[in-house]
Amino acid sequence: MAEKLDIADVLIVGAGPVGLFAALVFSQMGYRIRIIPPDLDKLDRHVERSGGCRIIPRSMEIIAKHCPDVAEEIEQIAYKTTDFATYYDGKKVNTVSQTDSICRYKHSYNLPSKRAVELVFEKKLQNLGVNIERSTVVSDLEVEEVEGSGMYKINPVIVTMQKQPATPTTEIVRARYLIAADGSRSFCRRKLGISFDGPQEVLHMADLGLVGRSTHPDAHNSW
């Protein structure tokens, strides 16, 4: 098994919306980045369910600050809503506004799935010449405490990566910074011994494809 060493300014683990946006921001600032998925289960596989399909006004404002053309494309493909309505046993129990009076964006932007957002980000990254290494996963991670100066002081993050072509290879990447955008079950967080505090709750959601006409007062809001 061949092994090689590479140097990066920023290594991003996680190629969902957060990881992709981080890659966009840092690559536009001139940093040398690497972006890879978190584990073998996500190699070359895209999740089409609706998780993370809503972008709130402040998030859109942040996207527009760094990538105005990306925000414009999201606006064109998203369904805009202003309120979130809660119903229980056939009765409305609450309405929450999704607007923000001090934000330039006045709606929530709803898309069929988080994959729709990823595609917009990926197209922009491709135009910038950034490769999303979907055939590579992290197998080990450590942060070195080094005295003195030089490459090992400047690049303390050491990541072992496994490439998965016909002939697997191992690569060591030394990075200045690591962005762990690999979700609630984060491999990076576990390796670094960082806890994920707070209560755990179960939220049941359903993806429904409906076609029809409605005069319901909340037909055009989020439920």
Q: What string of pLDDT tens digits covers the 223 residues of the chain?
A: 456 788 999 999 999 899 999 999 999 999 999 999 876 555 555 555 556 678 989 999 999 999 999 999 999 999 888 888 888 888 889 888 887 778 889 888 988 888 889 999 999 999 999 999 888 888 888 888 766 666 556 888 998 888 876 667 888 999 999 999 988 788 888 888 888 788 878 877 776 777 877 777 777 666 5
CA distance 36 to 181: 10
Q: Are 81 and 222 in contact (CB under 8 A)?
A: yes
CB within 8 A of 28, min separation 6: which ones? 66, 67, 128
CATH code: domain 3-191 is 3.50.50.60
CA distance 125 to 178: 19
Distance of CA 122 to the CA centre of its chain: 11
Dihedral-angle region of residue 13 (phi above 0 means left; psi in -120 to 50 means alpha; beta otherwise): beta
CA distance 87 to 22: 36
Dihedral-angle region of residue 53 (phi above 0 means left; psi in -120 to 50 means alpha; beta otherwise): alpha
Query: Quick one: tokens of 132?
Result: 């999303």
Indicate the domain borders of the chain: 3-191
User: pTM here?
Assistant: 0.83
Distances from the Cα of 157 to the Cαs of 2, 114, 188, 192, in angstroms?
Answer: 21, 29, 11, 11
Q: Dihedral, CA atoms, 42, 175, 21, 161, nearest 10 degrees?
A: -10
DSSP-derived letter for residue 7 is: E
Burial 113-134 (b: 16+ CB within 10 A, else e): bbbbbbbbbbebbeeeebebbb
Instruction: Select from 111, 32, 15, 17 the least CA-distant residue to 62.
Output: 17
Query: Quick one: tokens of 48?
Result: 């089409």
